[in-house]
Amino acid sequence: MLPGRITDGQRLDRKRHLGNDIILIIFQEDPQSGAFQLSSIRSKQNHIICFVSPKNDGFELLLAPRKEVPYFTPDLPEPAVIGTDGISRDFLLHKLINGERASYKAPIFASKITRTRSVLLYDVIDRYI
């Protein structure tokens, strides 16, 4: 469903949208079809992939964080199936936001965040002190 051009055989326009995200949410109508190949997206930015697929009256979740991402809460229920109500939506958003925050502790982001915060702090000092 991402934008793309017919002439873009490698789907680079679509991959560019996905390559800069820390968390990818992949919705699979039929997880048995095997249509999605994780190897088709290579990025140093992607740290958590959340697979969502329909299951009875809800959605089945599968989270695949990189090994560098520390543990984050809340825990997924067993089985990892959530409903279609607002509470389930809030649960998933809470889980993914915490996942993004945990990803910032991974080595690739930790040094960048420290550098960015340092620059911002010096900017505040220059402006106001």
| DSSP 8-state class, residue 114 | H
Per-residue pLDDT at 82 exceeds 90 = yes
Whole-number pLDDT of residue 39: 65
Per-residue pLDDT at 8 exceeds 90 = no
Residue 12 confidence class, pLDDT cut points 50, 70, 90 = low
Per-residue pLDDT at 71 exceeds 90 = yes
Quote the CA–CA distance of 47 and 119 in Å, as a whole number: 25
Q: Is 98 exposed, middle or buried (0-12, 13-18, 19+ CB in 10 A)?
A: middle
Q: Where are the domains of the chain?
A: 12-128
Bridging pattern class, strands 48-55 and 58-65? antiparallel
User: Does the pTM of the predicted model rise above 0.85?
Assistant: no
Whole-number pLDDT of residue 14: 61
Q: What CATH number is given for 12-128 in this structure?
A: 3.40.50.11210
| DSSP 8-state class, residue 6 | T
Across 1-129, the runs of DSSP E, i.e. the strands, are 23-27, 48-55, 58-65, 81-82
